Amino acid sequence: MSDAAKAPGAIMKQNLWTSNPIFMQVLGICSALAVTNLLSNTMIMTIGVVFVTAMSSLTVSLLKSLIPRKVRMVVQTLIIAFYVIIVDIVLRAYLPEISRNLGPYVGLIITNCIIMGRAEAFAQSNGPVLSFWDGMTSGMGYMGVLLTIALVRELLGFGSLFGFQVLPAGFEPWIIMVMPPSAFFLIGLIVWIGKTIMHRQGEPVLEGE
Protein backbone atom coordinates (compact mmCIF):
# COMPACT_ATOMS: atom_id res chain seq x y z
CA MET A 1 0.00 0.00 0.00
CA SER A 2 1.61 3.25 -1.03
CA ASP A 3 1.36 5.97 1.56
CA ALA A 4 1.13 8.64 -1.10
CA ALA A 5 -2.47 7.91 -1.95
CA LYS A 6 -4.44 9.59 0.80
CA ALA A 7 -7.08 11.42 -1.22
CA PRO A 8 -10.53 9.80 -1.08
CA GLY A 9 -10.66 9.38 -4.88
CA ALA A 10 -7.24 7.77 -5.01
CA ILE A 11 -8.13 5.44 -2.15
CA MET A 12 -11.24 4.36 -3.96
CA LYS A 13 -9.41 3.66 -7.20
CA GLN A 14 -6.81 1.71 -5.32
CA ASN A 15 -9.31 -0.40 -3.42
CA LEU A 16 -11.63 -1.06 -6.32
CA TRP A 17 -8.99 -1.73 -8.90
CA THR A 18 -5.19 -1.45 -8.55
CA SER A 19 -5.02 -3.21 -5.22
CA ASN A 20 -8.40 -4.89 -5.25
CA PRO A 21 -8.46 -7.18 -2.24
CA ILE A 22 -9.34 -10.23 -4.28
CA PHE A 23 -7.44 -10.21 -7.48
CA MET A 24 -4.38 -8.31 -6.42
CA GLN A 25 -3.92 -9.37 -2.84
CA VAL A 26 -5.80 -12.68 -2.82
CA LEU A 27 -7.26 -11.93 0.59
CA GLY A 28 -10.47 -12.94 2.20
CA ILE A 29 -11.68 -15.46 -0.30
CA CYS A 30 -12.20 -17.99 2.43
CA SER A 31 -15.56 -17.00 3.68
CA ALA A 32 -17.36 -15.93 0.59
CA LEU A 33 -16.66 -18.19 -2.38
CA ALA A 34 -19.05 -20.77 -1.03
CA VAL A 35 -21.99 -18.40 -1.24
CA THR A 36 -21.46 -17.35 -4.85
CA ASN A 37 -23.84 -19.90 -6.34
CA LEU A 38 -26.87 -17.62 -6.00
CA LEU A 39 -26.85 -13.86 -6.57
CA SER A 40 -29.19 -12.99 -3.71
CA ASN A 41 -27.05 -14.84 -1.15
CA THR A 42 -23.89 -13.18 -2.46
CA MET A 43 -25.53 -9.77 -2.35
CA ILE A 44 -26.55 -10.10 1.30
CA MET A 45 -23.23 -11.64 2.28
CA THR A 46 -21.14 -8.93 0.63
CA ILE A 47 -23.31 -6.15 2.04
CA GLY A 48 -22.54 -7.68 5.42
CA VAL A 49 -18.83 -7.64 4.62
CA VAL A 50 -18.93 -4.00 3.48
CA PHE A 51 -20.73 -3.03 6.68
CA VAL A 52 -18.32 -4.91 8.93
CA THR A 53 -15.20 -3.66 7.14
CA ALA A 54 -16.33 -0.04 7.17
CA MET A 55 -17.52 -0.04 10.78
CA SER A 56 -14.56 -1.92 12.19
CA SER A 57 -12.08 0.33 10.34
CA LEU A 58 -13.91 3.32 11.80
CA THR A 59 -13.88 1.87 15.32
CA VAL A 60 -10.25 0.79 15.19
CA SER A 61 -9.30 4.24 13.95
CA LEU A 62 -11.25 5.96 16.73
CA LEU A 63 -9.74 3.75 19.41
CA LYS A 64 -6.22 3.53 18.04
CA SER A 65 -4.64 5.73 20.68
CA LEU A 66 -6.36 3.80 23.49
CA ILE A 67 -5.36 0.30 22.38
CA PRO A 68 -1.97 -0.87 23.65
CA ARG A 69 0.12 -2.10 20.73
CA LYS A 70 0.72 -5.52 22.24
CA VAL A 71 -2.90 -6.56 22.42
CA ARG A 72 -4.16 -4.77 19.33
CA MET A 73 -4.77 -7.95 17.34
CA VAL A 74 -7.05 -9.33 20.03
CA VAL A 75 -8.90 -6.04 20.36
CA GLN A 76 -9.33 -5.79 16.59
CA THR A 77 -10.69 -9.32 16.45
CA LEU A 78 -13.18 -8.53 19.20
CA ILE A 79 -14.29 -5.34 17.43
CA ILE A 80 -14.82 -7.28 14.22
CA ALA A 81 -16.66 -10.06 16.04
CA PHE A 82 -18.94 -7.47 17.63
CA TYR A 83 -20.08 -6.17 14.24
CA VAL A 84 -20.39 -9.67 12.80
CA ILE A 85 -22.73 -10.62 15.64
CA ILE A 86 -24.88 -7.60 14.79
CA VAL A 87 -25.05 -8.70 11.15
CA ASP A 88 -25.90 -12.24 12.22
CA ILE A 89 -28.70 -11.17 14.54
CA VAL A 90 -30.18 -8.77 11.98
CA LEU A 91 -30.15 -11.49 9.30
CA ARG A 92 -31.77 -14.00 11.64
CA ALA A 93 -34.52 -11.56 12.51
CA TYR A 94 -35.35 -10.09 9.11
CA LEU A 95 -34.10 -12.59 6.51
CA PRO A 96 -34.31 -16.01 8.20
CA GLU A 97 -34.35 -17.83 4.86
CA ILE A 98 -31.08 -16.30 3.65
CA SER A 99 -29.54 -16.64 7.10
CA ARG A 100 -30.14 -20.40 6.89
CA ASN A 101 -28.64 -20.57 3.39
CA LEU A 102 -25.54 -18.69 4.45
CA GLY A 103 -25.11 -21.01 7.42
CA PRO A 104 -21.73 -20.68 9.07
CA TYR A 105 -20.37 -18.28 6.48
CA VAL A 106 -21.73 -15.19 8.19
CA GLY A 107 -19.69 -16.05 11.28
CA LEU A 108 -16.70 -16.60 9.10
CA ILE A 109 -16.65 -12.91 8.15
CA ILE A 110 -14.64 -12.59 11.39
CA THR A 111 -11.70 -14.46 9.94
CA ASN A 112 -11.96 -12.66 6.61
CA CYS A 113 -8.44 -11.38 6.19
CA ILE A 114 -9.53 -8.22 4.33
CA ILE A 115 -11.11 -6.73 7.42
CA MET A 116 -8.16 -7.39 9.69
CA GLY A 117 -5.85 -6.32 6.87
CA ARG A 118 -7.52 -2.93 6.43
CA ALA A 119 -7.70 -2.36 10.17
CA GLU A 120 -4.00 -3.12 10.51
CA ALA A 121 -2.70 -1.48 7.33
CA PHE A 122 -4.88 1.59 7.14
CA ALA A 123 -7.06 2.34 10.15
CA GLN A 124 -4.12 2.06 12.57
CA SER A 125 -2.49 5.12 11.04
CA ASN A 126 -5.32 7.21 9.59
CA GLY A 127 -8.23 9.34 10.74
CA PRO A 128 -11.71 7.90 11.35
CA VAL A 129 -13.46 9.33 8.27
CA LEU A 130 -10.79 8.20 5.82
CA SER A 131 -10.63 4.80 7.50
CA PHE A 132 -14.37 4.37 7.17
CA TRP A 133 -14.13 5.28 3.50
CA ASP A 134 -11.17 2.95 3.00
CA GLY A 135 -12.96 0.06 4.67
CA MET A 136 -16.10 0.67 2.67
CA THR A 137 -14.35 0.83 -0.70
CA SER A 138 -12.26 -2.26 0.08
CA GLY A 139 -15.47 -4.07 0.87
CA MET A 140 -16.94 -2.83 -2.40
CA GLY A 141 -13.95 -4.03 -4.41
CA TYR A 142 -14.57 -7.42 -2.88
CA MET A 143 -18.27 -7.18 -3.56
CA GLY A 144 -17.70 -6.43 -7.25
CA VAL A 145 -15.61 -9.53 -7.85
CA LEU A 146 -17.93 -11.84 -5.94
CA LEU A 147 -21.05 -10.51 -7.65
CA THR A 148 -19.42 -11.10 -11.03
CA ILE A 149 -18.70 -14.71 -10.10
CA ALA A 150 -22.21 -15.18 -8.72
CA LEU A 151 -23.72 -13.68 -11.87
CA VAL A 152 -21.99 -16.21 -14.11
CA ARG A 153 -22.65 -19.13 -11.77
CA GLU A 154 -26.35 -18.45 -11.30
CA LEU A 155 -26.95 -17.63 -14.96
CA LEU A 156 -25.26 -20.75 -16.29
CA GLY A 157 -26.03 -23.05 -13.38
CA PHE A 158 -29.73 -22.30 -12.92
CA GLY A 159 -30.59 -20.10 -15.93
CA SER A 160 -31.83 -17.40 -13.59
CA LEU A 161 -30.79 -14.07 -12.05
CA PHE A 162 -31.83 -13.22 -8.48
CA GLY A 163 -34.17 -16.20 -8.68
CA PHE A 164 -35.99 -15.01 -11.83
CA GLN A 165 -35.79 -17.28 -14.84
CA VAL A 166 -34.09 -15.30 -17.61
CA LEU A 167 -32.89 -17.97 -20.01
CA PRO A 168 -35.43 -19.87 -22.18
CA ALA A 169 -36.84 -23.09 -20.75
CA GLY A 170 -34.92 -25.20 -23.25
CA PHE A 171 -31.62 -24.08 -21.70
CA GLU A 172 -29.58 -26.97 -20.35
CA PRO A 173 -28.09 -25.87 -16.98
CA TRP A 174 -24.36 -26.37 -16.58
CA ILE A 175 -24.11 -28.62 -13.56
CA ILE A 176 -20.45 -27.72 -13.06
CA MET A 177 -21.49 -24.13 -12.28
CA VAL A 178 -23.47 -25.31 -9.26
CA MET A 179 -20.50 -27.25 -7.91
CA PRO A 180 -17.51 -25.79 -6.04
CA PRO A 181 -14.81 -26.14 -8.77
CA SER A 182 -16.48 -23.54 -11.00
CA ALA A 183 -15.89 -20.85 -8.37
CA PHE A 184 -12.17 -21.59 -8.47
CA PHE A 185 -12.09 -21.53 -12.27
CA LEU A 186 -13.99 -18.25 -12.43
CA ILE A 187 -11.87 -16.52 -9.83
CA GLY A 188 -8.76 -17.75 -11.65
CA LEU A 189 -10.08 -16.29 -14.90
CA ILE A 190 -10.97 -12.98 -13.25
CA VAL A 191 -7.50 -12.70 -11.74
CA TRP A 192 -6.02 -13.48 -15.14
CA ILE A 193 -8.13 -10.90 -16.99
CA GLY A 194 -7.58 -8.24 -14.33
CA LYS A 195 -3.83 -8.69 -14.29
CA THR A 196 -3.57 -8.78 -18.08
CA ILE A 197 -5.42 -5.48 -18.41
CA MET A 198 -3.17 -4.01 -15.75
CA HIS A 199 -0.05 -5.19 -17.58
CA ARG A 200 -1.36 -3.55 -20.73
CA GLN A 201 -1.92 -0.26 -18.97
CA GLY A 202 1.60 -0.48 -17.60
CA GLU A 203 0.37 -0.19 -14.00
CA PRO A 204 2.83 -1.54 -11.47
CA VAL A 205 1.42 -4.92 -10.47
CA LEU A 206 1.61 -5.69 -6.78
CA GLU A 207 2.30 -9.33 -6.18
CA GLY A 208 -0.13 -10.59 -3.59
CA GLU A 209 0.65 -13.07 -0.89
Partner 1 sequence: MAPDIPLISLFLASIFTSNILLANFLGMCSFIAISKDMNSSNGLGLAVVVVLTFTTAVNWAVLNYVLIPLDLVYLRFIVFIIVIASVVQMLEMIIDRVSQTLYLSLGIFLPLITVNCAILGVSLFMEIRQYTFVQSTVYGLGSGLGWWLAIMALSAIRKKTEKSKVPAGLQGAGLTFITIGFMAMAFIGFTGLLQVQ
Residues near partner 1, by CB under 8 A: 23, 26-34, 74, 77-78, 81-82, 84-85, 88-89, 103-104, 107-108, 110-113, 116, 176, 179-185, 187-189, 191-196, 198-199, 207-209
Longest dimension (CA), the chain: 62
- Least distance to partner 1 from the beta carbon of 6, Å? 27
- Least distance to partner 1 from the beta carbon of 185, Å? 4
Between residues 29 and 55, which has the closer beta carbon with respect to partner 1? Answer: 29
Between residues 165 and 196, which has the closer beta carbon with respect to partner 1? Answer: 196
- Least distance to partner 1 from the beta carbon of 55, Å? 15
Contact 107, 45 (CB under 8 A): no
DSSP per residue, 37-83: TSHHHHHHHHHHHHHHHHHHHHHHHHHTTTS-GGGHHHHHHHHHHHH
Q: How far apart are CA 119 and CA 42, in angstroms?
A: 23
CB atoms within 10 A of CB 162: 12
- Least distance to partner 1 from the beta carbon of 111, Å? 4
